[in-house]
Structures are given as structure tokens and as C-alpha cells.
Amino acid sequence: MSEQNQELSVEKVEEAEKIKNVANEYFKKQDYQEAINYYTQAIEINPRNAIYYGNRSYAYLRTEFYGYALADASMAIELDKTYIKGYYRRAASYMSLGKFKEALRDYEYVIKARPNDKDAKRNYTECNKIVKKIAFQKAISVKETKKKGADSINLDSMTIENEYNGPELVDGKVTLQFMKDLMEFYKNCGNLHRKYAYNILLDVKDYFMDQPSLVDVPIGDDNTFTVCGDIHGQFYDLMNIFAKNGLPSETNPYLFNGDFVDRGSFSVECIFTLFGFKLLYPNHFFMSRGNHESAMMNHLYGFEGEVKAKYTTHMAELFTEVYNWLPLAHCLNNRVVVMHGGLFSRDDVTLDEIRSIDRNRQPPDEGLMCELLWSDPQPQNGRALSKRGVGCHFGPDVTANFLKMNNLDYIIRSHEVKNDGYEVAHDGKCITVFSAPNYCDTMGNLGAFITLQGKDMVPQFTKYAAVPHPNVKPMAYANSFLSMMC
């Protein structure tokens, strides 16, 4: 430490330490943005202290800014090759970005340096399993001999046990009474019978397969339309939205804008409720794909584990098939485009190009599909590398150009926690809506949804606080490596 600080006065070193300690206190209070601000001040005073970068990396991980977390962890290691927490942070960043081979190298370093570190061994083992699984899947993918999950399901062979007392489909179809019964059943911690769960998944997959990647949604002049952002497995907050705004119906249409699952530990309840309403009101209930509707995110952040715990591995695989067919965006009244993430690294993207995206796959690391799911707005003009390490940052000029070229009024996107549940940016042309209040039971944010009148399409915002839920913590089903981040 003395060598790193030899060009700084004792007073400067002490000042940076005091600011770092303030940052630590904000971190303990789970006010990660303020912690980041103070760590940044400490770094500006003393840019040669590896701990400051390591701590800020941890705060970036908590706020899901994985690209920034990776950069800080790498800087910490560059400053101090023996700084073990730097390798931990960088491995977690790589894991969050799906770069498992790189993460494995960092975990290997940690277990060599600390052979008795149980957490490091567990994370190394889990990461190694993922690397081997990916390699195996690549090896067999060319043969395509394995039957698809949907093709291997025989509903007729599934019997309903006498002791099952939950809701039942009517001739295999969703009804309004079924949906009302299902939501009450879920509120009382029931589990929908696997036959009905599979039935819903097969039917909703068939429906989504016939949809374009960008869905056009007409809204009558006198009609109201509601847009909701991320739900993230917070079922009881989803129920609160319906309590405040009414159940979905042909006269009360909704669009849920991605990230229905993961993190929150009631993701199964959320997704079957949403899919049920999609089947009940296919032309008045809409769902966009989010970055968490992907196999790897589900493996890491809890949905896969939750489906396996409540149902089977086979069903988890079927969910992946269904998610691959979710539309990527919606255009409301030819005036407003809604996508989960944001805009593009190119200036010439048209709505027709979005419609024609081949979406039946896992999200790629670049290109239009990736950016629709991952990008974020920035206040300054132009574009920048994403704080997440995936997608891009786009400025007000990028938004204005996209709207002008496609003759649109504004865009709605989600993807980011906002203290008030929403944010209006880019001169009113880029609106963020986030519908999971007190995200992960830690963030203290409000949730929000947007209502629009077809005649003028002017957004109206409704904010709400979190409601109580059963004592199952967020991330209860998440991958074990994430325990260091939660």
C-alpha cells in the first residue's frame, strides 16, 4: 500500500479512506448508487488503491452493471495481483455475462491461493459444470437427435390425482373462472397440477409461434391500454397491479414488457398467471421478451431452479422453447414502440427490420435482438459501451433519429430499477417503466405502470409500494455462485 500511495500526501490518503468508509456505510444500507458515488470520489483522490475498485465493482454487481463491475475488478487486479476479492468480483462479473471459461480461470486462481475457501471451491465446481455442459451441448447439437421438449409431452398420459384440489382447465382451455381460481390458489401457496401447467405451455407456445417479432397493437380512441415493466417473480406485487388497475379483459388490455421471472421466488406463479391471461385474451393481452427470458439467465438467477423444485427439469427445458418464441417488441397504434431494453448501435433500423428478426433462439451477444433486450438510455448524445457489458447506451439524438425515421411519438422500455417506478428521459421521448417494487426485497423502489388512451397516447403513471409476501426470500432458487452477490 505504501508503494501505491508514495506520490500522495498522508492527508490525501486519509481523506480517500474516510470517503471509502462513507461509501461502505451506504453499501451496508443497500444504497448502492450512493456507495458508487463515494467510491468514485475515493478513486479520484487515490486511483492506486485496489480495494476501492474492488468495492465499487461489488456495488456495480449489486446494481447489475456487469460491464462496469468487470472493468473495476480487472483494474483492482492490475493494481494488486494478490487481491483475492478482485478475482472473486471479476469471476462473478464474467459469470453474470455468461463468460464461463473466463470466470473459471479466476476461480482457479482463488482456490489455488486459498485452498480451504469453501465458497471458492463451490463456485469453481459450479462454473466448471456449466463449462462442461455447454461443451457437451455444442458437441451433440449438430446431430439434433434429442426430441424437443414440446414434442415429447403426452398430456393424455398424465392423471389428475384425487387429492388435487386446485383449479382445472375446462376441456383443456383457460376460462376466466379458472384464472380467478388460479390466482387465489397461488395466493394460498398452491401448485397448479403439472398436466394443466404443461397444457398451458404447449398452447401458449403454439400461439407465440404464429406471431411476428414485432407485434402491431391497435387501440381504439376511447380505449385504455396498460403497459407494465419488469415483474421478476414478485407474484404478490403482480396481484396488487390487478387489484389497482383491474383484471385483464377485452376492455382492459395489458402489455407486460419482459423479465417476468428470475430473482423473485414466485416466478412460476407469475408466468403461469401471465400465460393464462394470454390464452384467455390473446388479442388483448401481450408479452414481450426480456433479457431474463433466456436459458442462461434462468439457470443463474433462479427460474430454472424454481421450476425444477415445483415441477421437473423437463418443464424447465420446455420454458426455454416457449421463451424463444416470445415477441421482441410491440408497436401501439403505429405511434409508440415498446421493447424491454432499448435502441440500437445502428441509425438505420426500421420497424420492418425488427419484424423480420429470426428470434427463435437464445439471445445473441450482439445485433438487433441483443440490443432490444439489453440496451439502456444515457443522458448525453451519441452512443457508448454498455454498463452491463451487453447491448449499448444510446442518447437523446439516437432516440430522436429512430422516432423520426419510423414516424413514431416515443418509446417505452423497462429493464432498469427506478426509484419512482418510472423515468421520463430524452425530452419525453424515452420512458422507462419498472413494475417490481422493493426489487429483491432490498432496493426500496416504488413500482409503476403506464396507462394510455388510444385517442392521444399520452402516458399516465401509477406508482405503488411493495405488498407483503410469504417468507420465501428472493433468489431462493438461484445458482449457488450468486450467494456472494446477494
Residues classed as catalytic: 292
Query: What torsion, rounded to 10 degrees, do the Cα atoms 213, 218, 224, 227 define?
Result: 10
In angstroms, what CA-CA distances link 19 with 14, 31, 72, 85?
9, 15, 18, 20
Closest CA to 41 of 61, 25, 56, 27: 56
- Tell me which residue of 89, 38, 29 sits closest to 65, measured CA to CA: 89
Residue 137 to residues 96, 158, 298, 322: CA-CA distances in angstroms? 20, 29, 17, 19
Cα→Cα distances 218→223, 406, 412, 455, 457, Å: 10, 17, 16, 11, 11
Cβ atoms of 382 and 404 closer than 8 Å:
no
CA distance 308 to 270: 16
Grid coordinates representing 315 are 418443464
Residue 139 CB contacts under 8 Å (≥ 6 apart), including other chains:
none
Q: Which three cell numbers stand for residue 444?
A: 426500496
CA distance 150 to 325: 13
Which residues make beta-bridge pairs with 425?
A: 430
Report d(CA 90, CA 234) in Å as an integer: 29
Query: How far is residue 462's CA from residue 451's CA, in Å, rounded to a whole number?
Result: 8
Distance between terminal CA atoms of the chain? 29
| ∠ CA 473-106-133, rounded to 5° | 70
Element (H, E) at 256: strand 254-256
**Looking at residue 249, what DSSP letter applies?**
B
Q: How far is CA 336 from the centre of its chain?
A: 22
Which cell is 382 given? 451519441
Q: Taking a C-beta distance cutoff of 8 angstroms, is the pair 193, 164 a contact?
A: yes
**Residue-level length of the chain:** 486
Q: What DSSP character marks residue 368?
A: H
Distance CA 115, CA 121 (A): 8
Taking each continuous run of H as one helix and of E as one strand, the counts in the chain are 17, 14
Smallest CA-to-CA distance from 295 within 304, 305, 286 is with 304
Q: Which three cell numbers stand for residue 109?
A: 486462481
